[in-house]
Amino acid sequence: SSELTQDPAVSVALGQTVTITCQGDGLRTYYAGWYQKKPGQAPLLVIYGRNNRPSGIPDRFSGSTSGNTASLTITGAQTEDEAAYFCNSPDSSGDHLFFGGGTSVTVL
């Protein structure tokens, strides 16, 4: 299956750490990409590859993979991190891309 499964929502206290997971068979072969999505804005790439951050993404964002599960961790969450986060990976052929259903992160 190429489906990617994410928990729908999670909350975190300001300054604390939160980990979002993404499960799927394709993650045994491909690293996930992680995107931050805020209302009215285009998705923003925050993590790609093994654990790479694009220029301008704070180092409180990190990624990891184990087996069929990719994780995005925000260490010291800030109010501006409140958003939906989507993982992304292709199917086994590498041709067709899939997104997880998204995890809404609330910073309390």
Partner 1 sequence: QVQLQQWGTGLLKPSETLSLTCGAYGGSLSGFFWTWIRQSPGGGLDWIGEINYSGRTIYNPSLKSRLSISVDTSKNQFSLRLTSVTAADTAEYYCARKRKSMSGLYYYFYMDVWGKGTAVTVSS
Residue 38-77 contact track with partner 1, rule CB under 8 A, x = bound: ----xxxx--xxx---x----------x------------
Question: Burial letters for 72-93: b for 16+ Cβ neighbours within 10 Å, e otherwise?
Answer: bbbeebeeebbbbbbbbbebee
* Straight-line distance from the first to the last Cα atom of the chain, in angstroms, rounded to the nearest whole number: 35
**The binder of partner 1 chosen from 13, 94, 106, 108 (CB under 8 A):** 94
Q: Residue 24, interface with partner 1 (CB under 8 A)?
A: no
Residue whose structure tokens are 């409140």: 82
Burial of 97 (0-12, 13-18, 19+ CB in 10 A): middle
**The binder of partner 1 chosen from 29, 78, 92, 106 (CB under 8 A):** 29
Q: Residue 102, interface with partner 1 (CB under 8 A)?
A: yes
**Minimum gap (Å) between residue 86 Cβ and partner 1:** 5
**Minimum gap (Å) between residue 5 Cβ and partner 1:** 12
- Residue 28 phi, psi (nearest 5): -75, -15
Residues at the site binding partner 1, with contacts judged by CB under 8 A = 29-33, 35, 37, 42-45, 48-50, 54, 65, 86, 88-90, 94-102
